């Protein structure tokens, strides 16, 4: 965990420090599609379009969800250091400026903020099958509450809805496999040695795990050892909200971060499943599980991490690439 900057440190330094901590946030294909600008007493979050996955994510849905996750991380860092913040989302309307944060003054650090903040460095995507133990129902409720507090919702899926998720995912995987631009993007972002961006072999399973909902095919096998277990005790949920637009996706990303860090605190692992949400037909199938009352942002697998070696941390860009101070 990053040390608490001194409360009398210059405000721009505190804001830049929070943005650096926020680089640990999850992002689609580890594209880290954000840019932080520190301008006096303001910390601004921009979508970094040069790292948008043009074929996989043409509308920027997954880019914006990723940016929402880094926004939540930054907010949490500031709260964990005892700062009250004011956050304006899309202050100029839809566009690349996604949020502006200002410090409002010192506040007592809550146990909740501190505990969640401490989990940031322990959160990773674990694509191995989960342990053969069911997730306690009250833990699932805690994840739903964490998402709700951030303005999105988590619908836990019953068996038939998991089947729908599996077919939406299989359908999306077929589309991806037959699209040369998406395949080229996978080659650009996944597999091999990676030092700053994308997914290195070490976090990609060495063979397809046995699971109810197929994991994303990253265009080849990695080197992450996995057991023979089947993911049958995993729980699945759909993160969703009222709006299928930039604000909804940003909030969805903040909710993803909140529920994921809550999961880590409770000893659970999360694996996002975004493939079915990336294609229109997949979104339609998933909307049925929501009784057409909301828009899906992301599916998540929730489980108790398997015993054995956890996957390595995925690399990040140096802060000089993502945080700029004026
Ligand atoms: C919006 C979004 C979509 C993602 N979709 C998937 C996915 O479909 N399959 C998967 O295995 N991981 C998915 N991930 C996880 C990312 O690959 C992961 O966060 C990134 O590689 C960084 O690794 P870390 O989470 O271990 O820090 C997604 C993450 C985000 C934020």
From the CA of 273, give the closest atom in ligand 1: 8
304: three-class secondary structure by DSSP: coil
| Residue to mutate (ligand 1; options 21, 23, 24, 26; most atoms within 8 A of CB) | 26
Name beta bridge partners: 36. 45, 323
- Average pLDDT of the residues of the chain: 95
* pLDDT tens, position by position, 304-313: 999 888 888 9
248 — pLDDT class (breaks 50, 70, 90): very high
Most confident range, picked from 98-102, 217-221, 228-232: 98-102
pLDDT of residue 199: 97
pLDDT at 76 over 90: yes
CB-based contacts of 12, cutoff 8 Å, min separation 6: 38, 40, 41, 325
86 — pLDDT class (breaks 50, 70, 90): very high
Ligand 1 contact, 28 CB (< 6 A): yes
Kindly report the three-state secondary structure assignment for every residue of 167-219: HHHHHHHHHHHCCHHHHHHHHHHECCCCCCCCECHHHCECCCCECCCCCCCCC
- From 119-133, 206-220, 292-306, the region with the lowest mean pLDDT: 206-220
pLDDT of residue 231: 87
Ligand 1 contact, 237 CB (< 6 A): no
Name beta bridge partners: 241. 295
Q: Find the helix packing angle between 61-80 and 111-118, rounded to 10°.
A: 120
Ligand 1 contact, 226 CB (< 6 A): no
Ligand 1 contact, 173 CB (< 6 A): no
The two three-digit tokens of residue 162, written as one number: 């998991």
The domains of the chain, with CATH numbers, are: 11-123 (3.40.109.10), 137-303 (3.40.109.10)
pLDDT of residue 1: 46
- 115 CA distance to ligand 1 middle (Å): 23
- 79 CA distance to ligand 1 middle (Å): 25
pTM flag (> 0.95): yes
pLDDT of residue 4: 64
pLDDT of residue 6: 57
The Cα 289–Cα 206 span in angstroms is 32
pLDDT at 262 over 60: yes
166 near 160, Cβ under 8 Å?
Answer: no
* pLDDT tens, position by position, 107-147: 999 999 999 999 999 999 999 999 999 999 999 999 999 99
- The CA distances from residue 238 to 83, 235, 300, 310, in Å, are 32, 10, 6, 25
- 272 CA distance to ligand 1 middle (Å): 6
2 — pLDDT class (breaks 50, 70, 90): low
For the chain, percent of residues with pLDDT exceeding 70: 98
Can you list the alpha helix ranges (DSSP code H) found in 30-151? 61-80, 111-118, 137-149
The Cα 171–Cα 155 span in angstroms is 21
101: three-class secondary structure by DSSP: strand
Name beta bridge partners: 210. 230
Residue closest via CA to ligand 1's atom 9 equals 273
The Cα 164–Cα 155 span in angstroms is 14
Ligand 1 contact, 199 CB (< 6 A): yes
Smallest CA-to-CA distance from 271 within 227, 315, 212, 318 is with: 212
| Residue to mutate (ligand 1; options 238, 274, 275, 302; most atoms within 8 A of CB) | 274
* pLDDT tens, position by position, 14-62: 999 999 999 999 999 999 999 999 999 999 999 999 999 999 999 999 9
Ligand 1 contact, 127 CB (< 6 A): yes
The Cα 227–Cα 129 span in angstroms is 7
pLDDT at 3 over 60: no
- 275 CA distance to ligand 1 middle (Å): 11
From the CA of 275, give the closest atom in ligand 1: 8
């Amino acid at each position: 965990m990053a040390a608490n900057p001194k409360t009398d440190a210059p405000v721009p330094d505190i804001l830049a420090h929070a943005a650096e901590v926020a680089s640990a946030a999850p992002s689609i294909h580890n594209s880290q599609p954000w840019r932080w600008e520190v301008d006096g007493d303001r910390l601004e979050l921009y979508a970094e379009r040069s790292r948008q996955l043009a074929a996989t994510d043409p509308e920027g849905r997954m880019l914006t969800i990723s940016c929402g996750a880094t926004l939540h991380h930054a907010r949490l860092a500031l709260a964990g250091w005892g700062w009250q913040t004011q956050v304006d989302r899309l202050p100029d309307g839809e566009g690349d400026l996604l949020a502006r944060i200002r410090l409002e003054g010192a506040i007592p650090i809550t146990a909740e903020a501190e505990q969640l903040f401490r989990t940031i460095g322990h959160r990773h995507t674990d694509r191995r099958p989960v342990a053969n133990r069911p997730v306690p129902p009250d833990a699932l409720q805690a994840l739903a509450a964490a998402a709700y507090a951030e303005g999105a919702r988590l619908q836990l899926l019953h068996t038939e809805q998991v089947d729908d998720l599996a077919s939406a995912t299989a359908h999306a995987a077929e589309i991806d496999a037959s699209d040369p631009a998406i395949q080229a993007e996978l080659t650009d972002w996944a597999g091999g040695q990676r030092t700053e961006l994308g997914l290195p072999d070490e976090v990609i399973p060495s063979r397809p795990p046995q699971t109810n909902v197929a994991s994303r095919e990253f265009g080849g096998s990695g080197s992450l050892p996995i057991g023979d277990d089947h993911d049958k005790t995993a729980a699945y949920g759909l993160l969703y909200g009222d709006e299928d637009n930039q604000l909804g996706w940003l909030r969805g990303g903040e909710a993803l971060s909140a529920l994921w860090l809550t999961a880590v605190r409770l000893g659970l692992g999360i694996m996002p499943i975004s493939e079915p949400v990336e294609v229109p037909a997949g979104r339609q199938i998933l909307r049925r599980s929501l009784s057409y009352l909301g828009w899906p942002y992301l599916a998540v697998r929730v489980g108790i991490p398997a015993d054995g070696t956890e996957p390595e941390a995925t690399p990040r860009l140096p802060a000089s690439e993502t945080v700029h101070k004026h």
